[in-house]
Chain A
Amino acid sequence: MAGCGFYAGYPITPATEIMEQMSRQLPEAGGVFIQMEDELGSLGAVIGASLAGVKSMTATSGPGFSLMQEHISFACMAEVPCVIVNVMRGGPSTGLPTLPSQGDVMQARWGAHGDHPIIVLCPSSVYEFFDLTIKAFNLSERYRTPVILVTDEVIAHTRESVTIPSKEEIIVEDRRKPTVPPEWYTPYEDRETGVPPMPAFGDGYRYHVTGLAHDLHGYPTTRSDEVGPLMTRLFNKISKDFHLLQWFDSYQTTDSLITVIAYGSVARSALRAVREAREKGLKVGLLKLKVLWPFMRRTVTRFLESSTKVVVPEMNMGQLSREVKRVNQGKCEIVTLNKVDGTLISPAEILKNLEDIYP
């Protein structure tokens, strides 16, 4: 539905089901599926297909995600749209292949070498997975950048019924193509949006693509007066729209003294915990984040100002809570609730925490 026509991947638990589905569905839909020799190759093929004009994606988990970082960095620099799904499992290393984790929140942000902007979305239900995948493709096409969907083993293996909207209801964005004749085309010229139009290889616009710092024509350069504007544009094209990337759900937060900030499968436990706490008369609420990066400073700040305490439960030792603390700046008390033993944080654990710290 997002318009994806190419998938390249490598088997890895717990993300293999995505690949298996693609191997069945893409050929009959006219797309291309290929199983590559490793994750480096998978993302290389994905970027190649995208340069040839086809929306492309891959899916993996922790160790494979590490291997993909080299090409995530390339896609940032060369501005090639692509979507990468990382179904987070317990780590470090081979860790807990079959069990959930949220240990790659920082890897998704900072795993690729070099300073770069990145967009990371995080679904917490099957429907959100569907919805955010379409949005991930739209964002990657709009900004010419890799977009990462992080989720965890629990969400990836959840089965629940969803209502698929009709095709007419779904907004699908495609990359802007140049409208000028080829001889007028300057591939990396800064436009108003900061995102240059992108032709496909074979469209008649012959241009150079490289991972090196490049000038407006795409040719390698080390001149600071050319590298500086390139890097500034790469960041600005996304940061100018941070206010548009504030996607969240809030529940019972209008009068909440304590707000739980959660994402992924933990947000589901948190919702149950908040409901039960409310039944007991506790004024608590939930802020569920659907965008992890760029971090939703505007949205989170609003809830930090309206609450006396904020709880951040995570299946890691405190990755997103660092960001919450960074933007908090003394507005309220931040409480972390961390778990790295391969089990989901249960509603009971969050509820107990809420009761313990309730003012």
Chain B
Amino acid sequence: MKQSEHLIYKYLRSSKRFPHIWCPGCGIGILLGALIRAIDDIGYSKDDIVLISGIGCSGRLPTYVDFNTLHTTHGRALTFATGIKLARPSLKVIVVMGDGDATAIGGNHFIHAARRNVDVTTIVINNQTYGMTGGQFSPTTPFGLETSSSPYGNLEHPFDICGLAGEAGATFVARSTVYHARLLEEMIGKALHKEGFSVVEVISHCPTYFGRQIGMESPVEMMKWQRDNAVRVERAKELGEEELRDKIVIGVLVDREASTYHKEYERLRAKSRLEDNAL
């Protein structure tokens, strides 16, 4: 553990006034730790990393760490990421979004970035609620739940973020929980290594709102729930649909090869020059 403590100081911004804005017991800090360890393990130069976020609790994550950091608009972080990656392909672009950010207001950008196979690693931290605005239901909130904006129960059914990403064209899709911090680090590492649009969904907990709404006020209780309900993808293959109901399948879900947008663009550029010469 001592080593980890040292590591975060290597990446935290000394010029930033702390404390951070996250509530005690929030899962985002665990994600940030895993992300830092994965980045450090690969050994990227800080100058080459662009860390981008949208709006919400997760939106504040880049503020604290010493990379090129960009806090964009709600749901649209991936569009900024697309522009940066295409303008300067040598940069390693990482986007962190929340569940509402990525799949409600940013749902369209999410599926199109996946479809284009832009070489960006996207981390969606899914706490099943809009935490910053006070616990309204999000596209991943369970059906029937009473929340700040569904006092009589949520009428909508949740999105499967990983399924959506995989179907839309992502080349790498994985899921972990913040309880499985080592697995999370491993999944992020694999996603960073992967060329193309890679997605890691991180099941997290919001003790302040979601926890209270489901009758679990302690983050420890919520993390135990993550532990008890997570099923490794290898094990999940052996289980039936009924046994997997309400379970969280964790591990690598999609891993395939496809040419990235900027590589295809390089080819298009060469073609345009040839055609120009031929004219």
Contacts and interface: CB of A to CB of B under 8 A. Distances in A.
Interface residues of A, number: 46
A155 interface: no
A334 interface: no
Contacts of B229: none
A263 B268 CA distance: 40
A56 B272 contact: no
Interface stretch (A160-168, A208-216, A231-239): A208-216
B146 to A, nearest CB: 31
A198 to B, nearest CB: 12
A170 interface: no
A218 to B, nearest CB: 8
Contacts of A52: 83-84, 87-88, 91
Interface in B230-279: 265, 268-269, 271-273, 275-276
Contacts of B275: 28
A32 B71 contact: no
A30 B84 contact: no
A97 to B, nearest CB: 22
Contact of B91 (A5, A37, A40, A202): A202
Contacts of A50: 83, 87
Interface in B44-99: 46-48, 50, 60, 62-63, 66-73, 76, 78-88, 90-91
A203 B88 CA distance: 11
Nearest to B270: A27
A58 to B, nearest CB: 10
A44 interface: yes
Contacts of A46: 83
B88 A8 contact: no
Contact of A48 (B16, B48, B87, B90): B87
Given A201-B91, A202-B68, A51 B84 contact: yes
A70 B80 CA distance: 13
B83 A49 contact: yes
Contact of A37 (B48, B70, B88, B108): B108
Interface string A26-39: 01101010101110
A246 B47 CA distance: 41
A45 B80 contact: yes
A50 to B, nearest CB: 8
Interface string A200-231: 11111011111110000101100000000000
A2 to B, nearest CB: 16
B145 to A, nearest CB: 30
Contacts of A36: 79, 82, 112
B76 A41 contact: yes
A83 to B, nearest CB: 14
B180 interface: no
A201 B50 contact: yes
Contact of A217 (B16, B82, B112): B16
A53 interface: yes
B71 A53 contact: no
Nearest to A201: B68
A16 to B, nearest CB: 19
Contact of A207 (B68, B83, B85): B68
A210 B74 CA distance: 12
A220 B63 contact: yes
B15 interface: yes
Contacts of B78: 44
Contact of B87 (A6, A42, A44, A206): A6
Given A6-B87, A202-B48, A48 B63 contact: no
B17 interface: yes
Contacts of A203: 47
19 contacts: A6-B83, A8-B82, A27-B265, A27-B271, A32-B87, A34-B86, A37-B109, A40-B76, A41-B109, A48-B82, A48-B85, A50-B87, A201-B70, A206-B66, A208-B63, A209-B71, A211-B72, A217-B16, A219-B17
Interface of B: 13, 15-17, 46-48, 50, 60, 62-63, 66-73, 76, 78-88, 90-91, 108-109, 112, 265, 268-269, 271-273, 275-276
The 10 closest A-B pairs by CB, nearest first: A48-B83, A44-B79, A45-B83, A48-B80, A49-B87, A210-B71, A52-B87, A49-B83, A27-B272, A201-B68
Given A28-B272, A48-B83, 14 more contacts: A27-B271, A28-B275, A28-B276, A32-B87, A40-B79, A44-B83, A47-B83, A49-B84, A49-B86, A52-B83, A206-B68, A210-B63, A220-B60, A220-B71
